[in-house]
Amino acid sequence: MNNNPLLSGLEFTKETGSFSLVIFGVTGDLTRRKLIPALFNLFIEGRINQFKIIGFARRTWTDETFRDEGRKMLSGGKFDSISSDKKEAFLSRLEYISSNFEDPKGYKELLNKINGFGGTLYYLSTPPTSYEAIIENLGKNGLANPDTAYARIIIEKPFGRDLATAKKLNTHLSTYFEEKQIYRIDHYLGKETVQNLLIFRFGNSIFEPLWNNKHIDHIQITVSEGIGVGTRANYFEKSGILRDMVQNHIFQLLTLIAMEPPADLNPDSIRDEKVKVLRSLKPITSKEVGQYTRRAQYNRGIVEGEEVKSYKEEEGVDPKSLTETYVALKVFIENWRWAGVPIYIRTGKRLSRKLTEISIHFKNPPHQIFPNSHPSLNANTLILHIQPEEGITFNINAKIPGLSTSMRRVNMDFAYGNAFGEQTPEAYQRLLLDAITGDPSLYTRRDEIETSWSYITRIINGWINENPPMYSYRSGSAGPEESNDLMEKGKWRRL
Ligand code: BG6
């Protein structure tokens, strides 16, 4: 446990008990990059003790191969300082089943391994095309209700590719599992700064009275990335950034920023409020996609000093591709609090840098008494930095020292690193721990996912029906020029 007094508020208090975590598609990238490091962190922090991690995949690995691979995953970086005894103690918990996802034999073997041992969690980390077979086989082979304390199923994104496929997957899941057993993961909800949005809004009394259309002019949500499509063209070509980032991650940010205070912290109280926001979104009809949306693809350019290809030149991308790598939206929430407040959303690959932030732009003072000052100087802005910097900045106006009455914007800053030290848990660490302890607050409920897909599917259909322009932007820039005219007042914050 950490003795740093600055970190005292960060302690988890959850009891985990013994459990088996079964990772379907364990040979994939997510296990190496996120799951094993997160589980190992939980282990060295003493939060999990009695557990098995059972890999399930097609490759003909054995327990030993899985452990050898695990050893590689725990070498380098911050894990180098951890003793090999500790690592071996963790690796001894790794087991492997080699089976294809349709073969009942693999599931029988799994049942033998988990029965009688604490609780069970199934983590679906396979391409979504395998979800149906895995869910059905878990159900038909007695694994949805095994002889264990509980059985929960965690499902990675993409959860469907439109409203119809999301509903189909939900219906299929509900044939074998109850809703309380289903954990739909969105890793943005595991980020500390995202969770802090609730504390910031409802743990302080000074912001909430201003948090409405009387005081707020508009809101901007930016999720920009420097990386391109990389090796994921196969997935991304069929997805596009609207599905990849907006339907899930950005809508999570939007709902947390816009929701009403929940009655309490029960998982369903929070999720009820989030769903209400999604239900209040003003749909963008086919005829309106040209007015409220901008889509674009990256051209060649320079990102972080490196020359990079255009999207159409990336390996695995159709040279005639119509998949968007950037999207900007103007969104309205039709309720008492937010009527008339535009919320501008933008996200893209190959932009100038990685940045996730939400900015709240307040209205100008009702009357201007200072002559000769630039009017835009007077609009206060609150910026919630999600990543890579984590913190909050409040822009206010201050008098420039001197004999004239002129003013300038200054910042009041809160940086997570300074206040609490460097150590914030990884998103997957928090989310896995919550699933193990049975707390679904940070997981997406069925109606939440379907309501957000319903909104996004309309836009996708609008794009198909109306075929608005596919703009382009230089890699390393702030996105297409054409997204500027989405805003009738204000402008995008500098990237
Ligand atoms: C994933 C998307 O869900 O989130 C990726 O599929 C994206 O395309 C990633 O790069 C961004 O996550 P983060 O945590 O780096 O902001």
Determine the distance separating the centroid of ligand 1 and the alpha carbon of 326, expressed in angstroms.
Answer: 14
Is residue 189 within 8 Å of residue 274, measured between CB atoms? no
Which two structure tokens, joined as six digits, stand for 380? Answer: 């206060």
Q: What residues act catalytically?
A: 249
Mutate to test the pocket of ligand 1, among 193, 236, 249, 314 (most ligand atoms within 8 A of CB): 249
Query: Residue 455 to residues 118, 248, 250, 302, 395: CA-CA distances in angstroms?
Result: 40, 12, 13, 34, 33
Indicate if ligand 1 lies below 6 Å from the C-beta of 156.
no
Confidence check: pLDDT of 309 > 50? yes
Closest atom of ligand 1 relative to the 387 alpha carbon: 16
Determine the distance separating the centroid of ligand 1 and the alpha carbon of 11, expressed in angstroms.
Answer: 27
Determine the distance separating the centroid of ligand 1 and the alpha carbon of 350, expressed in angstroms.
Answer: 13
Closest atom of ligand 1 relative to the 235 alpha carbon: 6
Which two structure tokens, joined as six digits, stand for 354? Answer: 């990685």
Mutate to test the pocket of ligand 1, among 225, 243, 251, 358 (most ligand atoms within 8 A of CB): 225
Is residue 46 within 8 Å of residue 13, measured between CB atoms? no
Tell me the CA end-to-end span of the chain in Å, nearest whole number: 38
Closest atom of ligand 1 relative to the 187 alpha carbon: 14
For the packed helices 446-466 and 267-280, what is the interaxial angle rounded to 10 degrees?
A: 20
Determine the distance separating the centroid of ligand 1 and the alpha carbon of 31, expressed in angstroms.
Answer: 15
Q: Where are the alpha helices (DSSP H) in 281-338?
A: 289-292
Which two structure tokens, joined as six digits, stand for 70? Answer: 């695990």
Q: Provide the pLDDT confidence category of residue 373 given band limits of 50, 70 and 90.
A: low
Name 344's bridge partners.
220, 330
**Other CB atoms closer than 10 Å to residue 464's CB: what's the count?**
11
pLDDT tens readout for residues 271-296 = 999 999 999 999 999 999 999 999 99
Q: Find the radius of gyration of the CA atoms of the chain.
A: 24
Indicate if ligand 1 lies below 6 Å from the C-beta of 69.
no
Determine the distance separating the centroid of ligand 1 and the alpha carbon of 96, expressed in angstroms.
Answer: 28
Mutate to test the pocket of ligand 1, among 30, 159, 187 (most ligand atoms within 8 A of CB): 187
Domains and CATH numbers, the chain: 16-156 (3.40.50.720), 189-486 (3.30.360.10)
Q: Provide the pLDDT confidence category of residue 13 given band limits of 50, 70 and 90.
A: low
| CA-CA-CA-CA dihedral for 303, 304, 308, 314, to nearest 10 | -80
CA distance 388 to 150: 37
Confidence check: pLDDT of 300 > 90? yes
Give, for 365, the enclosing helix (H) or strand (E).
none
CA distance 248 to 17: 31
Confidence check: pLDDT of 386 > 90? yes
Query: Residue 96 to residues 68, 106, 380: CA-CA distances in angstroms?
Result: 12, 10, 56
Determine the distance separating the centroid of ligand 1 and the alpha carbon of 10, expressed in angstroms.
Answer: 25
pLDDT tens readout for residues 22-72 = 999 999 999 999 999 999 999 999 999 999 999 999 999 999 999 999 999
Mutate to test the pocket of ligand 1, among 245, 350, 426 (most ligand atoms within 8 A of CB): 245
Confidence check: pLDDT of 355 > 90? yes
- The amino acid sitting at 216 is I
Closest atom of ligand 1 relative to the 191 alpha carbon: 14
In the chain, the percentage of residues whose pLDDT exceeds 70 is: 95
- Cα angle value 112/118/123 (rounded, 5°): 75
Of 215, 223, 487, nearest to 344 (Cα)? Answer: 487
Q: Provide the pLDDT confidence category of residue 2 given band limits of 50, 70 and 90.
A: very low
Closest atom of ligand 1 relative to the 157 alpha carbon: 3
Using DSSP, state whether 221 is helix, strand or coil. strand
Strands in 90-200 per DSSP E? 94-98, 119-124, 151-155, 182-184
Confidence check: pLDDT of 347 > 90? yes
Give, for 425, the enclosing helix (H) or strand (E).
none
CA 219 from centre of chain: 19
Q: What is the 8-class DSSP label of residue 333? A: B
* Full DSSP string of 397-419: EEEPSSSS--EEEEEEEEEHHHH
Determine the distance separating the centroid of ligand 1 and the alpha carbon of 407, expressed in angstroms.
Answer: 40
Is residue 447 within 8 Å of residue 273, measured between CB atoms? no
How confident is the model over 155-168, as a mean pLDDT? 97
Give, for 273, the enclosing helix (H) or strand (E).
helix 267-280
How confident is the model over 456-477, as a mean pLDDT? 98
Confidence check: pLDDT of 8 > 80? no
Closest atom of ligand 1 relative to the 232 alpha carbon: 8
Closest atom of ligand 1 relative to the 427 alpha carbon: 14
Determine the distance separating the centroid of ligand 1 and the alpha carbon of 483, expressed in angstroms.
Answer: 22
Q: Whose CA is nearest to atom 8 of ligand 1?
A: 244
Contacts of 33 (CB under 8 A, 6+ apart): none
273: left (phi over 0), alpha (psi -120 to 50) or beta: alpha
Is residue 26 within 8 Å of residue 15, measured between CB atoms? no
Indicate if ligand 1 lies below 6 Å from the C-beta of 244.
yes
Determine the distance separating the centroid of ligand 1 and the alpha carbon of 121, expressed in angstroms.
Answer: 24
How confident is the model over 177-190, as a mean pLDDT? 96
Q: Whose CA is nearest to atom 5 of ligand 1?
A: 244
Contacts of 305 (CB under 8 A, 6+ apart): none
Mutate to test the pocket of ligand 1, among 193, 237, 239, 244 (most ligand atoms within 8 A of CB): 244
In the chain, the percentage of residues whose pLDDT exceeds 90 is: 85
pTM comes to 0.94
What's the sign of the alpha-carbon dihedral 350, 351, 356, 362?
negative
Of 354, 347, 268, nearest to 304 (Cα)? Answer: 354
Indicate if ligand 1 lies below 6 Å from the C-beta of 225.
yes
